[in-house]
Amino acid sequence: MNYEIKGDNMPVVVCRLEEGESMITEGGAMSWMSPNMEMQTSGGGSLGKALGRLFSGERIFQNIYTARGGEGMIAFSPSFPGTILALDVTPEKPLILQKRAFLASTQGVELSTFFQKKGMVGFFGGEGFIMQKVTGTGKVFVEIDGSAVTYTLEAGEQLVVDTGSLAVIDATCSMDVVTVKGAKNILFGGEGLFNTVVTGPGQVTLQTISFGGLVAAVAAAMPSSD
């Protein structure tokens, strides 16, 4: 499979597949394709896995597109202006994603639900108690809100992240939540009550826009119905 990511803040990834190669995606992500791409809808395994994807912000069913009768082409677009990242997944390097981040992948990559082990992280960590985990071997395309900024943390090195800015981390990293210090900071600082602390080793990818934050800002700016 060869691919090319086109566009700026409204990107698309165009994949070219050899005969018999397949791509897996969520419903609604396909933008265009060659006529020899065959689609099959699948629950992606057990009922538990399907329901887990629903809880993590994805759809229960996934679509599998396979090139038949020669080379095929298919393009996938995100649901929100931002960035598409192409990441490698190996058995030694699974990834943890924010909700809704999974766009598409090659076969051999499996999407499952990731539950935060620490309750504080789940309730106050920005993306909620349930995230996504990708395992296996292959390429995964991830949609990021806004632009992506990546840091590599050494063992024990930490990064304090604003709520909703965490997009992708290596599974070797750990997460915790800390309370903003100082009553004045909490009441008047405008940065919320909690921050997420990520501890290495591993890579951390942050997003410059929070979808939830943007929705809240737009809602606040809407005129009242009264």
Q: H helices of the chain, where? A: 47-55, 119-124, 183-188, 211-221
- State how far the Cα of 70 lies from the Cα of 173, in Å rounded to an integer: 42
Q: Is the pLDDT of residue 46 over 70?
A: no
Q: What tens digit of pLDDT does each residue of 64-86 get?
A: 999 999 999 999 999 888 999 99
| The model's pTM | 0.81
CA nearest 129: which of 76, 181, 55?
55
**Architecture in CATH for domain 2-214:** 4-Layer Sandwich (3.60)
In tens, the pLDDT along 85-129 reads: 999 999 999 999 988 889 999 999 998 887 765 555 445 544 445
3-state secondary structure of 100: coil
DSSP assigned state of 223? P
Distance in angstroms (rounded) separating the CA atoms of residues 5 and 15: 9
pLDDT value at 61 more than 50: yes
* pLDDT the model gives residue 56: 46
List the 2-6 sheet strands across, edge first. 2-6, 12-17, 72-76, 30-33
Contact partners, residue 224, CB within 8 Å, separation at least 6: none
The secondary structure of residue 224, as a DSSP letter, is P
